[in-house]
Copies of this chain bind each other. A is one copy, B any other.
Amino acid sequence: MVNKICIIGVGLIGGSLALALKKTGFCQTVIGAGRNQHRLEQALSLGVIDECELDYAKAVADADLVFISVPLGAMEEVFEKIRPGLKSHTIVTDGGSAKHSVIEAASEKLGVQLGQFVPGHPIAGTEKSGVEAAFDSLYQNRKVILTPLEDNTPESVKLVEHMWQSAGAEVEIMGARHHDLVLAGTSHMPHVLAYGLVDCLNNAEDVEEIFDFAAGGFRDFTRIASSDPVMWRDICLANGDAILAMMHKYQETLDTLKQAIAQEDGEQLETLFKRAKAARDKFCM
């Protein structure tokens, strides 16, 4: 049980955590911080936060726990701005989709206080964004990955774990590099591939007709290309090495498929398609 939590960046992710923690009584008070007074007041009037503050150092000063849910590109600035107000007992965690780059930013900006930062990533979200989309059950039965640092005390990791469990999530621990590679494969690369496919077709002469005949499968396949372009730009910049490594692996599979199609090798195509269907049905059903 925690007295005050500070949420920096009160959108879908931060707002939903605030709602969940208030509902379960994990904390007494939530203070929301952000760059936009109007949106913070919206969060206040929706009952998502209890107080608001534009100055990040002031916002974290009385908090026991700080959750940073800003775009990856803004993480470094947030670490820099909170440091002057950060008490030595306060634990900081985040919701960034790539972990290595956030840890680097924290390392640079938090200095000797780096041990107070427990990196995390809730695997949750919807196509919507903004505090008005926040809801208290977003994290129910969802996974949250923590990638603790050597400098973290076991107690600080436990506190963050407990916070997510209170919000209904299941917590897993892994290394940051490993996290970044797993997420590159299952999330970051698929987004890049989907954006690329839509852009590729969009450059065709008969683009209107092409999309006109797109069926349900295409809509499903390209749904993630409707995601926020700035957020995904930031993820590509923050996790580029892992994404490129996965794209290199994928390229090998594509080359195999192209060769099989060119050589009319039905057996190879059927073998690969069957293996993929079995894996998809096994893991995703």
Copies of the protein in its oligomer: 2
What does DSSP make chain A's interface, helix, strand, loop or mixed? helix
Partner of A211, one of B224, B261, B283: B283
- Name A187's contact: one of B218, B233, B237, B254 (CB within 8 Å): B218
Contact check, B277 vs A227: say whether CB atoms are below 8 A apart. Answer: yes
Q: Mark A199-241, 1 if CB is under 8 A from B, else 0.
A: 1111010111111111101111111111101101110110010
Select the residue from A234, A237, A276 with max chain B CB neighbours within 10 A: A276
Residue from the list B196, B223, B236 in contact with A276, Cβ < 8 A? B196
A125 pairs with B273, CB closer than 8 A = no
Nearest chain B CB to A55 CB, angstrom units: 28
- Contact status A253-B200, CB under 8 Å: yes
Interface residue from B197, B221, B234, B236 paired with A220 (Cβ < 8 Å): B221
Tell whether A159 is near chain B: CB-to-CB under 8 Å.
Answer: no
**Minimal Cβ-Cβ distance residue in B for A235:** B269
User: Chain A: how many interface residues by the 8 Å CB criterion?
Assistant: 85
A190 contacts partner chain B, Cβ-Cβ < 8 Å: yes
- Would you give the shortest CB distance from A126 to chain B, in whole angstroms? 8
> Is A276's CB under 8 angstroms from B195's CB?
yes
- CB–CB B220/A224 < 8 A: yes
Q: Are A191 and B214 in contact (CB under 8 A)?
A: no
Interface string of A263-274 (1 = CB under 8 A from B): 010100110111
Selected interface stretch from A2-10, A25-33, A149-157, A242-250: A242-250
B198 touches A237 (CB 8 A): no
Contact assessment for A182 and B213 in the assembled complex, using a CB-CB cutoff below 8 Å: yes
Q: Which chain B positions have C-beta within 8 A of A273?
A: 195, 229, 232-233
Task: Provide the bound-state CA to CA distance between A214 and B190, in Å.
Answer: 11
When distances are taken between beta carbons in the complex, the residues of chain B under 8 Å from A225 are 276-277, 280
Q: A190-B221, A244-B258 are in contact. Are A213 and B143 (CB under 8 A)?
A: yes
- Among A213, A252, A281, max chain B CB count under 10 A is at A213
Given A258-B244, A261-B240, answer yes or no on A229-B274 (Cβ-Cβ < 8 Å).
Answer: yes
In the complex, the 9 A-B pairs of residues with the closest C-beta atoms, listed nearest first: A211-B283, A229-B273, A202-B279, A198-B276, A200-B253, A186-B214, A199-B276, A195-B276, A233-B270
